[in-house]
Amino acid sequence: MRNPLVLSAGVRSNYADLLIRAAQEGAGAVTSKSCSIEPRPGHPNPTAMIHGQVVMNAVGLSNPGVKEESEQIKKAIKEAGVPVIASVFGKNAEEFVQAAKVMETAKPAMIELNISCPNVGREGRMFSADPAATEEIVRAVKKAVKLPVSAKLSPNVTDIAEIAIAAKKGGADAITAINCLSGMWIDAYARKPYLANRIGGLSGPGIKPVALRCVYQIREAVDLPIIGGGGIASGIDAAEMLMAGATAVSIGSAVCYRKNAFGEIAKELQEFMDKQGYSKVSDIKLE
């Protein structure tokens, strides 16, 4: 990777053009929006809101299905010029396996397992709340595909370290953390929640301390590479995330409120490294 900044899943789209644009803006790698075997319409609008630097969404994992999305991934690989990570999800281990196998034909750099979406309600379990389910899904996918696999974890758990350990036991090659926090926002005048789904995922700068804590705890627990993110919006934020133990840093919501986010954050990180005398990203560590 030309820099450690990764576009996180879902913030841009299921389609190649916006992944390519993130690469053109300076991302070191890009992740596609999560897809399932069959197409899904997702939740009704409004599915997202931005209030200051608070971002809330309940998109409901809308996607065109893995067959179409794998075609988009092929196009992105050809044109983005940076590693493309493909995110998949399912309602059980078998569906994860099927989606991953179709996605593998597009030859992404890695498959990311979204076992941590907070917005699927009772219809889908949040597998990353359960170490046994996490291990089962990772193991099943690892058995079925040759590509590296990362497990994307949720902060909405009591002990994220035990989930990371379970993912490693299942054979994960990497961990991605964190997905959104579960939240809600109400319009008092309308007497309604802002999001049609009522409950949604909270992201943006306010969640950075939670993300740093989670990545730190995962780093203490496992020796896998970590794509760490949550609320990262500046080069200094990225340096903090690397110090917490991340190997690479994901940027999601910042692309909604910061123009040319990747180019600017990469420049700021480089300036920080130059001033502080770091010659490589992997030297950025806590004392």
Binding residues vs ligand FMN (CB under 6 A): 8-11, 33-34, 48, 55, 57, 59, 61, 87, 114, 152, 179-180, 201, 203-204, 207, 229-232, 251-254
Closest Cα to residue 151, out of 176, 126, 118, 129? 176
| H or E element in which residue 187 lies | strand 186-187
**d(C-alpha 131, C-alpha 67), whole Å:** 30
**d(C-alpha 200, C-alpha 186), whole Å:** 11
Instruction: Count the residues in the chain.
Output: 287
CB of 277 to ligand FMN, least distance (A): 28
CB of 61 to ligand FMN, least distance (A): 6
Is residue 117 part of the annotated active site? The answer reads yes
CB of 279 to ligand FMN, least distance (A): 27
User: Please, which residue, 51 or 283, has the CB nearer to ligand FMN?
Assistant: 51
Which residue has the closest beta carbon to ligand FMN?
Answer: 10
User: Please, which residue, 11 or 273, has the CB nearer to ligand FMN?
Assistant: 11
Q: Which two tokens stand for residue 17?
A: 């053009």
233 and 265 in contact (C-beta within 8 Å)? yes
- Strands of 54-57's sheet, edge to edge? 48-51, 54-57, 199-203, 181-184
User: Please, which residue, 238 or 284, has the CB nearer to ligand FMN?
Assistant: 238
Query: Which one of the listed residues 35, 117, 180, 214 is annotated catalytic?
Result: 117
CB of 255 to ligand FMN, least distance (A): 8
What one-character-per-residue DSSP string does 93-121 give?
HHHHHHHHHHHHTT--SEEEEE---TTSG
CB of 73 to ligand FMN, least distance (A): 14
User: Please, which residue, 62 or 221, has the CB nearer to ligand FMN?
Assistant: 62
Phi and psi based region of residue 180 (left: phi greater than 0; alpha: psi -120 to 50; beta: remaining)? beta
User: Please, which residue, 140 or 227, has the CB nearer to ligand FMN?
Assistant: 227
DSSP 4: S
CB of 287 to ligand FMN, least distance (A): 26
Other C-beta atoms lying within 10 Å of the C-beta of residue 221: 18
**d(C-alpha 284, C-alpha 276), whole Å:** 10
**d(C-alpha 227, C-alpha 136), whole Å:** 21
Other C-beta atoms lying within 10 Å of the C-beta of residue 134: 29
User: Please, which residue, 149 or 207, has the CB nearer to ligand FMN?
Assistant: 207
Catalytic residues: 117
